Amino acid sequence: MSAGSLFSEQWHRVRDVYPQLASDVTVSRHVYRGRTCYVLQRGATSAVHHLDSVSFELVDRLDGETSVAQLWDRAIVERDQQAPTQDELIQLLGELYAAELLVVDRRVPEERLFEKRNEHDMLQRRQRYLNPLYLRFALYDPDKLLDRLAPLSQQVFSRNAGLVWLALMVYAALSMLTNSDELFAAFKTFDILSSRNAFLLLLLYPVIKLIHELAHGLAVKRCGGEVHETGVSLMVLLPLPYVDASASAMFANKFDRILVSSAGILVELAFAAVGVVIWANTTGSFADFGLLMFLIGGVSTVLLNGNPLLKFDGYYMLADWIEIPNLSIRSRQAVVSSLRTLVSGADETKVHSGIPVEDRLERVWLHVYGVCSAVYRTALMLWIAWMLSDKWFFLGAMLAVAAIVTAVGMPLLRCVKALLKDPVYRTRRSVVVAGAIPLVIAASMVWLPLPYSNVATGVIWIPDDAVIRVKGDCDVTAVHTVPGESVKAGDALFTCEEIGALAAVDILVARTDELQSRLASVAARDPLSAVALKAEIKATEVALVNARERFAESTLVAKSDGVFAITGTTSLYQRAFSRGDLAGYVVPEGQRTVRMAIDERWISRFDTDLESVELRVKSANGDTLEYTTTVLRRTPKATRLVASAALSTYGGGSHPADKSGDGRLLDEPVFDVELEWPEVEHYAAVGAHVGVRLVYSATPLSTRIGTALRHAFSDRVSS
């Protein structure tokens, strides 16, 4: 019995009621974590409720001829100190009535007996229709159709089918491992929101989900259950089929329940595996189709359907595996109970949804799941909103508002209502704690400075005059210095002749001679034509000078002392370069630096709040070493051209590269920053990445959130 009062002031409202279980309620005996539990389900509504053995003893006596008062009196005689209080009995009956498992005397106004009924109905409607992540609309009863397909369920969920599925998973995993780099690159360049891919997604996703839901129905039939509801759901506004497989809750064997929950996931993983195989063995549109299958069956399963933090298939698998039914509701109740204890100081009962919480591990599961699931659901909805806002700004903004209202606004509203109505909060301690906690949180966010730093990508670099770039499209015809040799300023390195450079000089010489001859013939008799010819001759002579200079510069020389190194391969001879390509370096001793790029939106913070800079360098033996460094310079003006392609996504950096450029051209302008290289670190490959940790002055959390939201909103509006 609870430590609370034995009697209830509401007892007079229910003592003369003669409730009984509905005639179509079925009962199944389960064992959860070594404790016996009874599951009640009503056929007309598919409502399911879990009761511990003590509560079921009371409920089992509800025959329509025994009043609530007689039931409680008998419990007092039989159980004495272990008997429920009047409030506990009212709560139990109220929960059963709200779940539509009880039938009461119609002569008594029901709405005055169990007020939870209306609350339960509102909750059901809100979960079915007002969840922006998942809306459901029932259509018809598929049980007869599934009865005809019952023989198929025996074949689909058999040992042979399981072995085929496992072999497919192994083959797909090997394909992913052997093509991991190509798969990662394909992910980076795959635009799922493009018109073509979005159209394929709208065609393929419902088909996969239809087979997914069919698998649930067949699994229920395989285990001896019935399915009486199917319809259409809207997952992030995308119409999809669904099947009500709640009949599996009555299966006594937890592995049967897990099979029903995992059936759809197994189907989607099979589609993902087939998609990987198609992608790995085809090209073009077929490869894109396979990649899309993999994304739908694999990535979406991990993020949504197979993730236990959302109330989809993965959630029911986890709840059955750890043997904690009603995990979502009970975890939320456990967290709220702990908060009530913190605020009021009153000891909360360890009973949730009719099932006592007895072992320590179960309490840990409930609290961890309650917190993690709430955080994940909110983060997932905000991430989806962010992705959608890139293409459809207002749709993403509406979803983000819905997520914030659901995750923050509604819980705050419930807290305020509880503080105003619940008598447990009417003590001085409750008022002080309930008022102090939000004030402390708000004050901390606004005034408490918190450490602030971020890690960026830098590239080991050398002075600009040590970088060797070709000035035009050319082919290497001679190599004068072997890569790896030391050179001095002025030494010839290699000859890279521009394609058609000599022919261009000859053409311009011939053109100049022709114009001179024409000028001599018209100078006396046509002064106007002579003026035009002189201008054309002048332009041609300038072009000739430039062509001769380019031809003369076909032999590239070292501009400083150092070691000659090339990019790409170990050989230069007969290599072809395009204009502006990086051909090599003359690496000087002790003159390395680190180059990095900073987005122009954050440059003011860099200029005003930067306190220190740290480099994270991998040494020759693989260890990570940290050095404190200083800023040598930054460009006064933002530019889209960076020192090395290694700073853009083209070369493994973080800044998006312009697809029309050579890797050094970015989509957005940045400021070029040069950092001092630690002279004690001798191991340094030019062009290699290093981690750069920028430490800023401590800043309140509200300032950071406001800045991030302002920039995000500005980006989306401008795009």
Tokens of 326: 């009603």
**Residue 650 located in a structural domain:** yes
Residues 290, 143, single domain; the answer is yes
Residues 594, 677, single domain; the answer is yes
- Percent over 70 (pLDDT), the chain: 82
d(CA 185, CA 187): 5
d(CA 565, CA 571): 10
> How many independent structural domains does the chain possess?
5
Q: What is the pLDDT of residues 325-371, one digit of tens each?
A: 888 888 888 888 787 777 776 665 554 444 455 678 888 899 899 88
If one counts every other C-beta atom within 10 angstroms of the C-beta of residue 116, the result is: 18
**Residue 313 located in a structural domain:** yes
On whether the CB atoms of residues 687 and 595 are closer than 8 A, the answer is no
On whether the CB atoms of residues 334 and 370 are closer than 8 A, the answer is yes
pLDDT for position 423: 67
DSSP 268-311: HHHHHHHHHHHHHH--THHHHHHHHHHIIIIIHIIIIIT-TTST
Strands, E assignment, 92-196: 102-103, 134-140
What CATH number did the domain enclosing 21 receive?
A: 3.90.930.60
Residues 123, 137, single domain; the answer is no
Residue 167's pLDDT band, with cuts at 50, 70 and 90, is: very high
Answer with the residue of higher pLDDT: 267 or 79.
267
Q: What is the pLDDT of residues 65-116, one digit of tens each?
A: 888 888 888 888 887 777 788 888 888 888 888 777 888 765 444 444 454 4
Strand, helix or coil for residue 140: strand
Q: What is the pLDDT of residues 200-209, one digit of tens each?
A: 888 888 888 8
**Residue 5 located in a structural domain:** no
Residues 228, 275, single domain; the answer is yes
On whether the CB atoms of residues 461 and 658 are closer than 8 A, the answer is no
Residues ≥6 apart with Cβ < 8 Å to 405: none
**Residue 71 located in a structural domain:** yes
Q: Which of 501, 547, 502, 540 is nearest to 518 (CA)?
A: 540
Burial of 597 (0-12, 13-18, 19+ CB in 10 A): buried
Residues 242, 281, single domain; the answer is yes
On whether the CB atoms of residues 233 and 240 are closer than 8 A, the answer is yes
Residues 200, 274, single domain; the answer is yes
- pLDDT of 515 above 90: no
d(CA 683, CA 261): 54
Q: Which of 164, 347, 355 is nearest to 266 (CA)?
A: 164
Strand 486-487 with 555-557, pairing: unpaired
d(CA 89, CA 68): 9
The residue from 577, 602, 622 where one domain ends is 577
The label of the residue with tokens 């419930």 reads 414
Give CA separation, 647 vs 278, 467, 568, 577, 676, in Å: 33, 16, 17, 21, 17
d(CA 544, CA 523): 23
Tokens of 345: 């100081």
**Residue 243 located in a structural domain:** yes
**Residue 564 located in a structural domain:** yes
Determine which of 125-134, 494-503, 654-663 has the lowest per-residue pLDDT on average. 125-134
Tokens of 492: 């010839």
pLDDT for position 256: 92
Q: What is the CA radius of gyration of the chain?
A: 37
- pTM for the whole structure: 0.66
d(CA 241, CA 235): 10
Q: What is the pLDDT of residues 555-609, one digit of tens each?
A: 888 888 888 888 766 678 778 887 777 788 887 776 788 889 988 888 888 888 8
d(CA 561, CA 486): 8
Q: What is the mean pLDDT of residues 467-472?
A: 79
**Residue 710 located in a structural domain:** no
Among 88-92, 521-525, 609-613, the range with the most confident prediction by mean pLDDT is 609-613
On whether the CB atoms of residues 605 and 692 are closer than 8 A, the answer is no
pLDDT for position 216: 92
Residues 563, 608, single domain; the answer is no
Residues 647, 548, single domain; the answer is no
Q: What is the pLDDT of residues 644-663, one digit of tens each?
A: 888 888 777 888 888 777 77
The label of the residue with tokens 């170990």 reads 570
If one counts every other C-beta atom within 10 angstroms of the C-beta of residue 167, the result is: 11
Residues 138, 276, single domain; the answer is yes
d(CA 185, CA 179): 10
What CATH number did the domain enclosing 651 receive?
A: 2.40.30
Residues 160, 276, single domain; the answer is yes
On whether the CB atoms of residues 293 and 204 are closer than 8 A, the answer is yes
Residues 291, 363, single domain; the answer is no
The residue from 577, 611, 633 where one domain ends is 577
- pLDDT of 636 above 90: no
Determine which of 45-49, 348-352, 497-501 has the lowest per-residue pLDDT on average. 348-352
pLDDT for position 357: 53
**Residue 582 located in a structural domain:** no
Q: Which domain holds residue 483?
A: 474-577
The residue from 542, 577, 612 where one domain ends is 577
Q: Which of 225, 204, 363 is nearest to 268 (CA)?
A: 204
Residues 300, 161, single domain; the answer is yes
The label of the residue with tokens 């040598």 reads 632
